[in-house]
Structures are given as structure tokens and as C-alpha cells.
């Protein structure tokens, strides 16, 4: 089996008819018996000899991360920090922006050897996604287990997400990872990643408005589901924005599990902001903490902050603050944490900047961001405003182009309402992933006509056509923002890569 055949095989399983309780957790509304999803995955993993469990000399330590936004970035930050601490670290991300294999990544620090005298020279950092060959091999290896599930499992065939996670567990076991960092797909309590029975640390980044139809409808309901990743006698770190009734829900779950709840008070939050800002002492460092050096609110750097940090600064570095705090809980030194943050490479399509120059149109800036819920769009809006304030040219009127598409189950009206005020040209489209239904562009078109009557949007069923129009008609200095879906941003990122 080759890679493309393996991908097609996994995606084709979606065409099988499934019962009401045996479909994809992400595609279901809230059900009376969600435990079936974990039972179904457990049945399949048992056929694979339970690769997620410690066995013999394979004793993985899990870091389990959930939250409405930021969990993917915190997952990547934790993997980087643990690598700089000398560990071999597997990480499972979801969804993937471009290629399927991007969900499964290994990072480790290895020694290089002088070929002339066989002496160890220095350490180098290795980062690799699962290879296409290994991916195809593992898919071939699990097909017999899937056949057994189809014939005998009382819970039905595992979902696409569950199968993919199983592939990750198999690969991490083969690679003998010291740590495995898991990004929750949806919620936590009945998410496939919660098949693990123990973790070194659970992390809840924040609680916001997403997946209400599955884990809501209220924020306290969402908090309850996300708190489900707390393990008995474990530790859980929650982000600084979690307060009030939401925090009480998580505290009750921690108490029930006899787990330690670790929070941020103002003093601790100030301390971590100072530690992060001190990284700016090196002029070559700033780009890594904020994706690009000119995108951040740049506060003064000093040993102390005598006033409360601006909320924009806290928001800017929220993911780094959580990751640094988590690393210290794992007894990783400040020196290693700062080194890791200084050298951190952001994930694709997370406020990713590209610049395209053509002979007839000049230089255009493109921002790719997979923001797909109101919280993420709000963060993106603030980042764009910062960028515009620092990069707008006073001598000419700059236009901002918006290429937007969203999945059907997202709060796209609230997302559009946030991003439209800074958008002059609006191109509505869709992502091309068959496993997820899209919001019809016509629905978004009609909504925008009511909300922003002076600006008539355009519809493109092929997102590549939307991008091409933006490139053909935008002028030098214009900004093109691609957002609303990680699938959409990833697809157009690949096209842009071919152009550059």
C-alpha cells in the first residue's frame, strides 16, 4: 500500500452506513450514551495489543491538552520544551491543515558524530512527521483489526479520528517515545484521546463557545466535558482566563478525582510574563514568541513589572504562559524553557505570514489562520489590527481582502460579525474536505448583505478561484486574510507554496 491509497482508504470508511450511536463523535449531536465512543476505541486498541498502554520498556508519559482555543499551539510548545529537556516526544494534533501525516510528529535531541574519529560532536534537534511509507505500512497493518470490528464489535467500526489516533499510538510505541502530547479533538470526557488512564499533566487552556451542539449548550456544560480529562490523583493546569462558575465546575471534577488543580493568580501571571518578556533581550528571539517580530504589542523589558500587564500582552502570550507554567510543573528548568521558546517553530496556519510579489501587482501580504470559532476569530482580529497599525502606509489607502469559509457546525455568524469591520473585499468560499459539511456560501452572502450593505461579497465554490481573484485584483500593500477553517487555510497554503 502507498500513502495516497492509505489516505483514500481511511477517508472512504465514511461512506459506510452507521447506526445512530456508532457514527463519528464530532458529527453527532449530544447523545444519551456517549461512553460508547471510548468503548468502541478500546475494543479496537485491544485488537492492536493496546499500544497506548505502558508495556515492558515502553513507559510513555502523557500530557493531555484540551481547551476551546490554543490547545494545538500549547501542544506544539510542550513538545518543543520536552525535546530541549532531552526527551523523545510524540505529539498528536488534530485536525491536519494540509496532509494527513501532519497529525503525527516526533521530536528528539540527538548527538551527531564526527565521521573521521567517531567522536560525539554536538547535539542536534530532530523534528519529523511520520513518513508516508510508515503511515501506509501502519494502515495496512490495522486493516485486519478493522475487518474484525466490522464483523464482531458490539460498538461498531471506529471513526476516522479514532483510527488515526490508533495509528499514532502504534507509531509512538514503535519509536519508544518518552513523552506523548495529545491534543483533544472535541471536549475531553468522551473524546478518543481520553482512552488513556493516566497522565503526568492535564491542561485546560480556556473555555469558550465551540461545539455547543455536542458538549454544550452552556459554557458550564462545555467546562464539565473538558474537565473530563482530569485523571485520578493527577494534576491539572488551567489557563488564567478560567474564572468564576467555569472554574468551580473544573474544581469540582478535580476534587472528585482527588487531583491537584493548579491555577494562575495575578502574582504568578506577572511572574511568567516577565520571564517571557526577558526573552526579548536577544533581538533575534522575538519572532518566535509572537510568530513575527512586528506583529506583537512590544512592552518594555525589565526585571519587574510595577503595574498590572496590559490585557493585550497577556492575551498575546497566553499559550506561552501556559506552556511555561506546565513545564515548570514537570520540573523543567527556566533556562531550558526559555531556550525552547526562543527556538519554537509555530504550526502552519496559525497567524502565518506569507508575501507574494508579482511583476504587475507588487508585494502583497497574506495571513493564513485556521481560526474556526468566535474566540479564535477575536484573537485573529486583534492580531490583524496590531499588524495594520504597524504596517499601514499613510500615503495610500490599503485594502483588506477576506477569504472566508466555515464548517456548518460553527458559529459563523459571530465569526463574520467580528472580522467584517476590517474587511473591504469579501470572498466567500468553502473547504474541500468531504468528511465535514460546509456552511453554504449563499447563507453567508445573505447574512453579510444585511450586516454590511455597502460591501457586496462574492461567492466562489472553488477556493482556489477566490485566491486567484484576490491575487489578480489586489494592489501593492494590500492584505489578504484567509480564515474560518483550518482545512481552507491549509488548502490555500499549499497552492501558495506552489506559487512561491
Least confident of 31-35, 100-104, 189-193, 259-263: 31-35
Q: Which residues of 68-96 are buried (b: 16+ CB within 10 A; e: fewer)?
A: bbbbbbbbbbbbbbbbbbebbbbbbbbbb
pLDDT at 499: 75
pLDDT mean over 299-317: 53
What cell does 454 get?
455597502
Give the whole-angstrom CA distance, residue 497 versus residue 494: 5
pLDDT surpassing 80 at residue 312: no
Dihedral over alpha carbons 104, 108, 112, 113 (to 10 degrees): -90
Most confident of 114-123, 126-135, 295-304: 126-135
Least confident of 21-25, 37-41, 239-243, 288-292: 288-292
pLDDT surpassing 50 at residue 18: yes
In the chain, CATH 3.40.1190.10 covers: 3-262
Give yes or no for a contact between 49 and 188, defined as CB atoms under 8 angstroms apart.
no
pLDDT surpassing 80 at residue 315: no
As its CATH architecture, domain 352-499 has: Alpha-Beta Complex (3.90)
pLDDT mean over 23-31: 55
Work out the pLDDT band at 456, boundaries 50, 70, 90: confident
CATH of domain 3-262: 3.40.1190.10
Residue written as cell 497574506?
366
Mean pLDDT of the chain: 86
Give yes or no for a contact between 408 and 439, defined as CB atoms under 8 angstroms apart.
yes
Work out the pLDDT band at 292, boundaries 50, 70, 90: very low
pLDDT mean over 279-303: 37
Least confident of 96-105, 111-120, 148-157, 233-242: 111-120
In the chain, CATH 3.90.190.20 covers: 352-499
Query: Where do runs of H (alpha helix) occur along 57-101?
Result: 71-84
Instruction: Render pLDDT for 419-432 as a digit per residue (tens, 0 to 9).
Output: 999 999 999 999 99
**Residue bearing the bigger pLDDT, 276 or 228:** 228
Work out the pLDDT band at 284, boundaries 50, 70, 90: very low
Instruction: Report the predicted TM-score, pTM, of the whole model to 2 decimal places.
Output: 0.88
CA 365 to chain centre: 23
**Residue bearing the bigger pLDDT, 126 or 204:** 204
Report the sign of the C-alpha dihedral through residues 234, 235, 239, 242, in that order: positive
Amino acid at each position: 500500500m502507498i500513502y495516497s491509497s492509505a489516505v483514500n482508504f481511511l477517508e472512504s470508511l465514511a461512506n459506510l452506513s452507521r447506526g445512530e450511536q456508532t457514527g463519528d463523535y464530532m458529527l453527532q449531536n449530544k447523545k444519551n450514551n456517549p461512553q460508547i465512543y471510548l468503548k468502541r476505541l478500546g475494543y479496537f486498541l485491544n485488537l492492536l495489543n493496546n499500544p497506548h498502554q505502558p508495556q515492558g520498556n515502553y513507559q510513555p508519559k502523557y500530557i493531555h491538552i484540551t481547551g476551546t482555543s490554543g490547545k494545538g499551539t500549547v501542544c506544539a510548545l510542550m513538545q518543543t520544551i520536552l525535546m530541549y529537556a532531552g526527551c523523545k516526544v510524540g505529539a498528536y494534533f488534530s485536525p491536519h491543515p494540509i496532509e494527513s501525516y501532519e497529525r503525527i510528529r516526533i521530536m528528539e535531541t540527538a548527538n551527531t558524530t564526527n565521521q573521521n574519529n567517531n567522536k560525539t560532536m554536538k547535539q542536534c534537534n530532530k523534528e519529523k512527521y511520520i513518513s508516508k511509507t510508515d503511515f501506509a505500512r501502519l494502515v495496512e497493518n490495522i486493516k485486519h483489526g478493522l475487518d474484525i470490528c466490522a464483523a464482531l464489535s458490539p460498538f461498531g467500526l471506529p471513526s476516522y479520528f479514532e483510527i488515526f489516533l490508533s495509528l499514532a499510538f502504534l507509531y509512538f510505541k514503535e519509536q519508544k517515545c518518552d513523552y506523548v502530547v495529545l491534543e483533544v479533538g472535541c471536549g475531553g470526557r468522551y473524546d478518543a484521546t481520553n482512552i488513556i488512564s493516566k497522565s503526568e499533566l492535564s491542561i485546560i487552556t480556556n473555555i469558550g463557545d465551540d461545539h455547543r451542539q455536542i458538549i454544550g449548550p452552556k459554557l458550564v456544560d462545555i467546562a464539565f466535558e473538558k474537565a473530563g480529562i482530569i485523571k485520578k490523583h493527577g494534576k491539572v493546569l488551567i489557563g488564567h482566563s478560567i474564572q468564576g462558575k467555569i472554574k468551580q465546575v473544573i474544581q469540582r471534577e478535580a476534587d472528585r478525582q482527588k487531583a491537584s488543580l493548579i491555577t494562575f493568580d495575578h502574582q504568578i501571571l506577572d511572574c511568567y510574563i516577565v520571564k517571557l518578556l526577558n526573552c526579548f533581550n536577544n533581538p533575534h528571539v522575538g519572532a518566535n514568541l509572537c510568530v513575527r517580530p512586528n506583529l506583537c504589542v512590544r512592552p518594555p523589558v525589565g526585571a519587574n513589572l510595577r503595574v498590572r500587564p496590559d490585557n493585550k500582552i497577556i492575551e498575546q502570550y497566553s499559550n506561552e504562559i501556559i506552556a511555561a507554567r506546565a513545564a515548570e510543573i514537570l520540573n523543567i528548568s527556566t533556562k531550558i524553557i526559555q531556550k525552547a521558546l526562543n527556538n519554537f517553530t509555530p504550526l502552519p496556519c496559525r497567524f502565518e505570514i506569507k508575501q507574494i510579489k508579482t511583476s504587475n501587482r507588487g508585494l502583497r501580504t497574506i495571513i493564513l489562520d485556521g481560526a474556526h470559532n468566535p474566540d479564535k476569530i477575536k484573537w485573529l482580529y486583534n492580531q490583524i489590527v496590531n499588524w495594520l497599525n504597524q504596517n499601514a502606509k499613510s500615503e495610500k489607502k490599503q485594502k483588506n481582502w477576506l477569504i472566508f469559509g466555515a464548517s456548518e457546525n460553527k458559529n459563523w455568524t459571530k465569526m463574520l460579525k467580528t472580522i467584517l469591520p476590517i474587511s473591504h473585499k469579501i470572498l466567500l468560499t468553502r473547504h474541500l474536505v468531504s468528511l465535514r459539511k460546509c456552511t453554504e456560501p449563499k447563507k453567508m452572502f445573505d447574512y453579510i448583505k444585511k450586516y454590511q450593505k455597502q460591501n457586496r461579497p462574492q461567492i466562489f465554490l472553488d477556493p482556489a478561484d477566490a485566491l486567484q481573484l484576490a491575487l489578480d485584483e489586489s494592489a501593492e500593500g494590500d492584505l489578504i486574510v484567509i480564515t474560518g477553517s483550518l482545512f481552507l487555510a491549509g488548502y490555500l497554503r499549499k497552492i501558495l507554496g506552489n506559487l512561491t
